[in-house]
Structure 1
Amino acid sequence: MLQSHQELPDCFYLAQPILITPHSPTPNHFLYLSNLDDQNFLRFSIKYLYLYNKAIDIERLKSSLSRVLVDYYPLAGRLRRRNNEENDDKLEVECNGSGALFAEAFMDITAQHFLEISNKPNWSWRKLLYRSQGLSFLDIPPLVVQASYRPTVFFSIK
């Protein structure tokens, strides 16, 4: 029987994350956040972990993300402080098509094993998410996607 405090393995990356840009041109403008969306206590990222038993085609996932970013183009932009002398702390989305961050990771765990380990609260699942580097949340793209999978043959990186 697995214990609920069992740690998940670390993910490892063979390459640096890349930017996935919209497939076709998108509007280039600024979107102001509403006063409700721009509260200081809401300035953090929300992390989701989706688990699939079926293998994914990484190139197809990248292509799909690129096409989706055409319709949801603000997610390919960047958050920034608004250039306004009277309210210096207000944020806006610069819709510029810079792209979403895409990281490809490998791990030595199956979906079934993950579910067995995580049948009770287990904070080590956060190890499975790419940690974007930045001085603040403004330095991180609004959308960061990581595809993690178990290689057919496990190998070690030295």
Structure 2
Amino acid sequence: MQGSWDEQLPDCCYEHKQPSLIKPCSPTPNHLLYLSNLDDQKFLRFSIKYLYLFEKSVPINLLKQSLSRVLIDYYPLAGRLKNLQPRHEHDDNRLQVDCNGEGAVFAEAFMDMSAQEFLQVSKKPSKSWRKLLFKVDAPTFVDTPPLVVQVSSFSFF
């Protein structure tokens, strides 16, 4: 492999301009969940990102169907965060989960390098790994869906 990949990964090319929403495949409870005082700390308002690399490919439709089934049991992940309407002065900026079944964000992407090249280049963590994570265009943390999934395919050569 040439040294052109040493610093940066190539950009992901998205199959569709916008990601799809994967909803639970059967009805789920529709209610509000209040976050505990511990979970609602302002310094904890950030997203956690994971990157998994699998050697064996799974068809996209199977992944979407599986996610749709999982969202039945984990239905708050298909909801949306909301600011609590303050009843008392200490309720200001409290968050709750609107369990509305709106769906998890699912983005499909392609990266023009092989998985082997990716492993070779990515021996150490790099800021360019962020290219493998779909970035939701949201003005605030509250506007970001609780679950965002990106599946990236690599070339075979």
**In the alignment, residue 109 of structure 1 is paired with which amino acid?**
M
Task: Report how far residue 4 of structure 1 moved.
Answer: 9.1
Task: Report how far residue 140 of structure 1 moved.
Answer: 1.4
Which residue is equivalent to 1:135? Answer: 139
Unaligned stretches of 5+ in structure 1?
A: 154-158
Which residue is equivalent to 2:20? Answer: 18
Contact 2:13 2:109 in 1 (8 A): yes
Give the TM-score of the pair, scaled to structure 1. 0.90
2:99 corresponds to 1:98: no
Residues 152 and 77 from structure 1, CA distance in 2 versus in 1: closer, same or farther, beyond 3 angstroms?
A: same
Contact 2:115 2:156 in 1 (8 A): no
| Aligned pair partner of 1:149 in 138, 153, 156 | 153
Runs of 4+ in structure 1 over 3 Å off: 1-5
State the alpha-carbon separation in 2 of the partners of residues 137 and 105 from structure 1: 23
**In the alignment, residue 46 of structure 1 is paired with which amino acid?**
I
Counting only pairs closer than 5 Å after superposition, residues 30-45 of structure 1 correspond to structure 2 as 30-45=32-47
State the alpha-carbon separation in 2 of the partners of residues 13 and 45 from structure 1: 22
Task: Report how far residue 73 of structure 1 moved.
Answer: 0.2
Count residues with an aligned counterpart.
153
State the alpha-carbon separation in 2 of the partners of residues 84 and 62 from structure 1: 37
Task: Report how far residue 138 of structure 1 moved.
Answer: 1.3
State the alpha-carbon separation in 2 of the partners of residues 98 and 139 from structure 1: 13
State the alpha-carbon separation in 1 of the partners of residues 130 and 87 from structure 2: 39
Render the CA deviation track for 1:85-123: whole Å, top value 9, x for unaligned: 311211010101000000000111222211111112311
State the alpha-carbon separation in 2 of the partners of residues 63 and 150 from structure 1: 22
Which residue is equivalent to 2:75? Answer: 73
Which residue is equivalent to 2:8? Answer: 7
CA RMSD of aligned residues (A): 1.9
**In the alignment, residue 152 of structure 2 is paired with which amino acid?**
S
Comparing both structures, which one devotes a greater share of its residues to strand?
2
Q: SS state of the match for residue 112, structure 2?
A: coil
**In the alignment, residue 94 of structure 2 is paired with which amino acid?**
K
Contact 2:114 2:155 in 1 (8 A): no
2:66 corresponds to 1:57: no
Which residue is equivalent to 2:112? Answer: 108
Q: Percent identity?
A: 61
Which residue is equivalent to 1:156? Answer: none
Unaligned stretches of 5+ in structure 2?
A: none
Task: Report how far residue 14 of structure 1 moved.
Answer: 2.5
Contact 1:78 1:98 in 2 (8 A): yes
Give the TM-score of the pair, scaled to structure 2. 0.91
